[in-house]
Amino acid sequence: MLLPNSIVIGMVHYGGNMMMFDRRYFRYFDWIGFFIMLVLLGLGLLFVFSATYRPDQTLSLHFKKQLFGAGTGLIIYFFFCIIDIKRLSRWGVIGYFATLALLIYSTVGGWIAMGAKRWVSLYFFRFQPSELAKLFLPTFIASYFAELETPKYHVHPPIPFKDFLFPLGILLLSFLLILKQPDLGTALLVMFSGMVLLWFVGIPRSFFLVTGLMGIIATPVLWKCLKPYQKDRILVLFGYGDARKERYQIEQSKIAIGSGGLWGKGLLKGTQNKLEFLPEDHTDFIFSVACEELGFVGALCIIFFYVLLFARLVFIIMHVQNFFEQIVAIGLMIHILLSVCINMSMVTGMLPIVGIPLPLLSYGITNLWITMASLGWLNNIAIRRFYY
């Protein structure tokens, strides 16, 4: 039997449901956002290659892993592109509570590396459960408030504050579990992302005022709760610390960025990187490597592509009609946006070093997969807005 208008060009059976790909799917696919993502992904591979290149080993293990992560990340991207959004929402809620269980496990039996118990080992690879929280948190919050939707408060509801207590409690639990690993950077990122989403949902503005005042009052207590190295990182921001100890990492980063000049020293010619003065050059400080080798112009190009990506995502979000899908889309974008801003600020000395990688550029398979899954999910929302 011929399908209507003969527009169907392929079918996939998934979970008993037939998923049809027609010309509209390819027409409404966000090719612009996909192309920008590929450019940033390619730049990431280039700089991971450069940061880990050695004459006796041109293709390092880190580069090979990142290349594998990029290839499998594209599969994950398209997987999140084609799955039905309602199905993704159901999986997302289950996934978030499974993530909380994994976070609890990681504090007890997690894999220890660099003094932190952040990883869960699956024998053939290790991953950070805290990364999954960034992916599934928006779905949990959107689904929770979608269940509360009634004719009384629809789309932009005057939701009573008591209905915010449960998501606030879960958000606080997530923050504490990630902080326990310890991973202050990701904990703050998840907390800020959640607060932004609750602000869009309609939590009373007075909540932020009261929370801010309580935070200021509790500052002395919070300071005592910080670990010594966390205190050092904050003090370094204000000019304290020895340049050969506490300030070493940020000083080397600034030297790398400044020495790149206008056009840079050239690919594979960064001295701070090649002479191993710059710690974590292929992970958190990959932007410093890019600045040294491509200079100010190269740094501006990278920033330009990120601005283009976020401008495209904002454009898509503004045209999503369903309020709760908008919340999911905002949440999927906001953790990437915050990561970019925090990473670039910390490597240039405008924020304390908190260990947040640069999305799509920094080495790290788990972070790369979560970023590409988020962008794939966003593309899914961009496509489906024309179907309803």
Q: What is the pLDDT of residues 19-78, one digit of tens each?
A: 445 566 778 899 999 999 999 999 999 999 999 988 888 888 999 999 999 999 999 999
252 versus 115: the higher-pLDDT residue is 252
Are 201 and 140 contacting, i.e. CB atoms less than 8 angstroms apart? no
Q: Which pLDDT band holds residue 138 (cuts at 50, 70, 90)?
A: very high
pLDDT at residue 110 above 70? no
**What is the C-alpha separation between 358 and 286, in angstroms, rounded?**
8
Average pLDDT over residues 104-115: 69
pLDDT of residue 387: 54
Beta bridge pairs of residue 57: 54
pLDDT of residue 324: 87
pLDDT of residue 129: 85
- Going by C-alpha positions, the residue among 362, 381, 382, 379 that lies closest to residue 131 is 362
**What is the C-alpha separation between 377 and 383, in angstroms, rounded?**
10
pLDDT of residue 158: 73
Q: Which of 6-15, 273-282, 315-324 has the lowest mean pLDDT?
A: 6-15
Are 233 and 352 contacting, i.e. CB atoms less than 8 angstroms apart? yes
Amino acid letter, residue 279: P
Q: Which pLDDT band holds residue 297 (cuts at 50, 70, 90)?
A: very high
Beta bridge pairs of residue 14: 17
Percent of the chain past pLDDT 70, that is, above it, reads: 87
Average pLDDT over residues 189-198: 95
pLDDT of residue 20: 42
pLDDT at residue 263 above 90? yes
pLDDT of residue 69: 95
Phi and psi of 125, rounded to 5°? -165, 165
pLDDT of residue 117: 58
Q: What is the pTM of this model?
A: 0.89
pLDDT at residue 17 above 50? no
pLDDT at residue 173 above 70? yes
| Mean pLDDT computed over every residue of the chain | 86
Q: Which pLDDT band holds residue 192 (cuts at 50, 70, 90)?
A: very high
Count of structural domains within the chain: 1
pLDDT of residue 226: 85
pLDDT of residue 386: 64
pLDDT at residue 8 above 70? no
Q: Which of 11-15, 101-105, 112-116 has the lowest mean pLDDT?
A: 11-15
Q: Tell me the C-alpha to C-alpha distance, in Å, between residue 176 and each of 99, 180, 345, 362.
A: 13, 6, 24, 26
**What is the C-alpha separation between 114 and 107, in angstroms, rounded?**
15
pLDDT of residue 362: 95
Q: Which pLDDT band holds residue 254 (cuts at 50, 70, 90)?
A: very high
pLDDT of residue 115: 54
pLDDT of residue 154: 45
pLDDT of residue 58: 84
User: What H or E segment, with its residue span, contains residue 20?
Assistant: strand 17-22
pLDDT at residue 287 above 80? yes
Which residue segment(s) compose the domain that 8 sits in?
Answer: 4-384
What residue spans of the chain are helical by DSSP H?
Answer: 23-28, 31-52, 61-82, 85-109, 129-148, 165-179, 184-201, 205-217, 219-225, 228-237, 248-259, 271-274, 286-318, 323-347, 365-384
Q: Which pLDDT band holds residue 3 (cuts at 50, 70, 90)?
A: very low
**What is the C-alpha separation between 310 and 333, in angstroms, rounded?**
8
